[in-house]
Each structure stands twice: as structure tokens, then as C-alpha cells.
């Protein structure tokens, strides 16, 4: 493969990663600190890229040099932000999710697959107290905010600004056609977090416990309604002609790992969950191809409970609600 062809493949790879609203030429010019005319000459292959320019672009767009030269390698390049209590806190985390979902919306014929170990993070964000509890748990237990070490959780800790951001995230998720692969274990993570704080006397009063379990049950009820319709719609809202397709599959044998895969118009992105909160993404063709193939194989071995499978759908959600009922009896 000659230099010009390699350079054009390189730029095509960068182009495929950019949202439609960003000017490709201007982005290259900005990254390399050159004029748009100079950027055009490089994109067309009229001027070879220097090694320094290749390094800048690879770093900016998380592209492996192995990919450029089609070197066979077992290395994959992932990107993402590591959540902590210093440099990348909860507020930035929510903003990062928002920007990522907005980018997904710009991909033609996009479809999002979620192979979930837990309840997908978006669904909690429809409920003020439940999302506030999740935020509190993440900040106190996962991220280790020292100021929360001796604070009890109550409804007074609902951050309305954070909840508005979370609700907007859920609205964005509802605008994306999606397939989720569930297991009966998915609800356990949230239940275990609630029970851990209950046993550790972190809740200010029993009322907030009842509220959390009520909202968790309401979440499942809403998911069941969406599964029945095969469409996404907001809490306490109606299905609209513009409502996006929504499929749920249940796999009784395999427990997911919170892998997210985005597919659309020849563009693929895979996200892996790390350390509970972090999602690391890659555009690597080999890795994305493998992930998509594996996802489709799991779906073939799962039971669809959206639209069809009324009996299986009722049994599945009743089983999840029973888990909540057993916990509520002891409050």
C-alpha cells in the first residue's frame, strides 16, 4: 500500500469518528495548527504527513499506529476519563455522558446495544431520590468523597441541578434505538447497595428506604410497559409515532458485563465498563467487529421479551419485583 493511500485511509478513519456537526477540515487544521488549505492538501494526499503530525492526530483521536499501517497486533487503543473525587467528579461525569449520547444521535441509522450486568445506568435517572441515592453511593463509596464519610442519606440530599442533568440524559437515551440484554441478577446490584447502607446505618430514616424501593419497583413497571410496546417513552408518558424501537432480551445463563456497543452506517464503537463507573471506548475495527459478533451470538441464545413473549415478560419482571418485595417486608 503506497503512502498516499495509507494517508487517505488514516484520514477516513478520523472522519468516521467525528460527529456530523463538526467540520472535518477545520478540526484537522485546529489539531495541527495549520490553515484549512494546508489541511486540505494533507487530506487529499498532496502533502505527506510528518511523523510529528501523525503523532498529534493519533493522540487527539485515539488511533493506533498499528491500525494505520495495518500491522497485525493484539493491542487495542481505548479512551475515556477516570472518575475520581479530584479531577473528574460526578458533574463532569454526567456532562461526559451527555456529550457522548449527543454524539451517538449524529450517527445515521444508529443502534445502541447494552449487555448489562446491572440495571443500565440511564434508567435510574428518571427518579429524583433513586438517582440521588446512586450519586451519593458513587461519591461516598466508589469515589471516596471525604466530606460524605459521616453523612447519612436522606431525601434532603436530592441535588435538583444534578437531577435535571440526569433527566436530560434519560431523554437522550430514549432518542436512541436500543437493545438491552438482561438477566435476573441485574437488579441485585442496586438492592445490595441499598441493603449495604441499611445495615451500615447510612439512611437517615426508614421512609427514604421505602421511597427507594418504591421507585425501583416503579422503574421495573415502566420498563415492562416499554418492553410490551417495543418502544421507548418517558415515565408516565404515552407512546408516540416518533418513539424509538426498544428490545429486551433475557439470557438465563450468562450475566453481562455492562458492555455498550454502538453501530450505525458503517461506524462502530465499543465501550467496556471499568471499576463500576468508568466506560472506556474504542473504534478499533477488529475489537468492534469481535464485540458485535459476540453480541449477536448472545442475542440468538436469549429470549426476546419485548413485543412478543407476553408470558416470559410477565414472569421475568414478576421475579424482579419479588426480590424487591422480600426486602421491603423486613423494613
* pLDDT reported for residue 180: 97
Work out the average pLDDT over 116-145.
Answer: 91
* Within a domain: 85: no
Q: What's the CA gap between 15 and 273, in Å, rounded?
A: 26
Residue 270 CB burial class (10 angstroms; 0-12, 13-18, ≥19): buried
Scanning the structure block, which residue is given the C-alpha cell 418504591?
Answer: 214
Is 211 within the bounds of a domain?
yes
pLDDT of residue 67: 58
Number of domains in the chain: 2
* Domain shared by 172 and 320, yes or no: yes
- Considering the domain architecture, whether residues 210 and 122 belong to the same structural domain is answered as yes
Q: Are residues 311 and 201 part of one domain?
A: yes
How far apart, in whole angstroms, are the C-alpha atoms of residue 174 and residue 210? 27
State the Rg of the chain over Cα: 22
Residue 249 resides in a domain: yes
Q: 54: closest CA among 31, 73, 70?
A: 31
Average pLDDT over residues 207-231: 96
pLDDT tens per residue across span 245-268: 999 999 988 888 899 999 998 889
What residue numbers bound the domain in which 8 lies?
A: 3-68
Categorize the per-residue pLDDT at 110 as very low, low, confident or very high, splitting at 50, 70 and 90: very high
Q: Is the pLDDT of residue 8 over 80?
A: no
Q: Are residues 43 and 190 in the same domain?
A: no
What is the reported pLDDT for 73? 60
Let me know if residue 128 belongs to a domain.
yes
Does the residue 58 lie in any domain?
yes
Residue 232 within any structural domain of the chain: yes
Tell whether 73 is covered by a domain. Answer: no
Q: With 60 as the cut, is the pLDDT of residue 70 above it?
A: no
Q: CATH number of the domain that 46 lies in?
A: 1.10.260
d(CA 33, CA 27): 10
Q: Are residues 172 and 57 in the same domain?
A: no
Say yes or no to pLDDT of 72 above 60: no
CA pair distance 331, 326, nearest whole angstrom: 10
Residue 207: band (very low, low, confident or very high) from pLDDT cuts 50, 70, 90: very high
User: Could you say which of 15, 35, 68 is where a domain stops?
Assistant: 68
Same domain as 117, residue 164:
yes
**Per-residue model confidence (pLDDT) at position 52:** 87
Interval 112-128 mean pLDDT: 93
Do residues 36 and 155 share a domain?
no
Reported as a single tens digit per residue, the pLDDT across 9-50 is 788 778 777 766 778 889 898 999 999 898 888 888 888 888
Show which of 68, 99, 115 is a domain's final residue: 68
At 71, the pLDDT band (50, 70, 90 cuts) reads: low
90: left (phi over 0), alpha (psi -120 to 50) or beta: alpha
Residue 132, φ and ψ in degrees, nearest 5: -65, -40
User: What's the pLDDT tens digit per position in 264-313?
Assistant: 988 899 999 877 777 888 888 889 999 999 999 999 999 999 998 899 99
User: What local confidence, expressed as pLDDT, does residue 81 receive?
Assistant: 74
pLDDT value of residue 280 = 86
Residues 146, 285 within the same domain: yes
Judgement on whether residues 55 and 94 belong to the same structural domain of the protein: no
CB under 8 Å to 277, separation ≥6 — which residues? Answer: 83, 93, 138, 142, 143
Mean pLDDT of all residues belonging to the chain: 88
Q: Which residues contact 68 (CB under 8 A, 6 or more apart)?
A: 6, 9, 10, 13, 54, 58
Whether 187 shows a pLDDT value over 80: the answer reads: yes
56 with 156, same domain?
A: no
- Give percent of the chain above pLDDT 70: 93
Buried b (16+ CB within 10 A) or exposed e, 207-240: ebbebbbebbbebbebbbebbbbbbbbebeeeee
Boundary residue ending a domain (68, 99, 118) = 68
Query: Within this chain, do residues 295 and 166 fall inside the same structural domain, yes or no?
Result: yes
Taking 80 as the threshold, does the pLDDT of residue 64 lie above it? no
The reply to whether 78 falls in a domain is no
Asked whether residue 80 carries a pLDDT value surpassing 80, the answer given is no
For residue 65, name the pLDDT band (cuts at 50, 70, 90). Answer: low
Same domain flag for 181 and 57: no
Distance of alpha carbon 51 from alpha carbon 244, whole angstroms: 45
Amino acid at each position: 500500500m503506497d503512502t498516499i493511500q495509507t494517508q487517505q485511509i488514516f484520514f477516513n478513519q478520523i472522519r468516521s469518528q467525528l460527529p456530523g456537526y463538526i467540520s472535518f477540515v477545520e478540526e484537522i487544521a485546529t489539531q495541527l495548527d495549520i490553515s484549512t488549505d494546508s489541511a486540505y492538501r494533507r487530506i487529499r494526499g498532496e502533502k505527506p504527513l510528518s511523523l510529528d503530525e501523525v503523532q498529534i492526530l493519533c493522540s487527539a483521536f485515539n488511533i493506533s499506529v498499528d491500525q494505520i499501517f495495518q500491522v497485525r497486533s493484539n493491542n487495542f487503543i481505548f479512551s475515556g476519563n477516570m472518575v475520581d473525587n479530584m479531577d473528574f467528579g460526578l458533574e463532569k461525569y454526567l456532562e461526559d455522558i451527555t456529550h457522548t449520547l449527543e454524539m451517538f444521535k449524529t450517527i445515521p441509522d444508529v443502534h445502541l446495544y447494552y449487555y448489562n450486568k446491572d440495571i443500565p445506568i440511564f434508567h435510574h435517572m428518571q427518579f429524583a431520590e433513586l438517582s440521588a441515592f446512586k450519586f451519593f453511593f458513587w461519591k461516598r463509596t466508589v469515589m471516596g468523597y471525604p466530606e460524605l464519610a459521616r453523612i447519612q442519606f436522606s431525601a434532603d440530599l436530592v441535588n435538583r441541578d444534578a437531577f435535571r442533568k440526569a433527566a436530560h440524559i434519560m431523554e437522550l437515551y430514549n432518542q436512541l434505538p436500543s437493545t438491552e440484554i438482561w438477566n435476573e441478577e441485574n437488579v441485585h446490584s442496586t438492592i445490595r447497595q441499598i441493603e449495604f447502607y441499611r445495615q451500615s446505618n447510612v439512611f437517615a430514616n426508614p421512609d427514604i428506604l421505602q421511597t427507594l424501593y418504591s421507585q425501583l419497583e416503579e422503574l421495573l413497571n415502566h420498563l415492562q410497559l416499554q418492553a410490551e410496546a417495543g418502544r421507548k417513552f418517558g415515565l408516565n408518558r404515552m407512546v408516540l409515532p416518533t418513539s424509538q424501537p426498544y428490545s429486551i432480551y433475557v439470557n438465563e445463563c450468562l450475566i453481562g458485563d455492562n458492555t455498550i456497543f454502538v453501530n450505525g452506517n458503517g461506524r462502530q464503537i465499543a465501550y467496556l465498563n471499568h471499576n463500576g463507573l468508568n466506560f472506556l471506548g474504542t473504534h478499533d475495527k477488529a475489537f468492534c467487529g469481535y464485540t458485535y459478533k459476540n453480541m449477536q451470538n448472545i442475542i440468538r441464545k436469549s429470549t426476546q421479551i419485548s413485543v412478543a413473549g407476553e408470558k416470559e415478560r410477565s414472569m421475568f419482571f414478576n421475579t424482579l419485583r419479588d426480590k424487591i418485595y422480600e426486602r421491603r417486608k423486613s423494613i
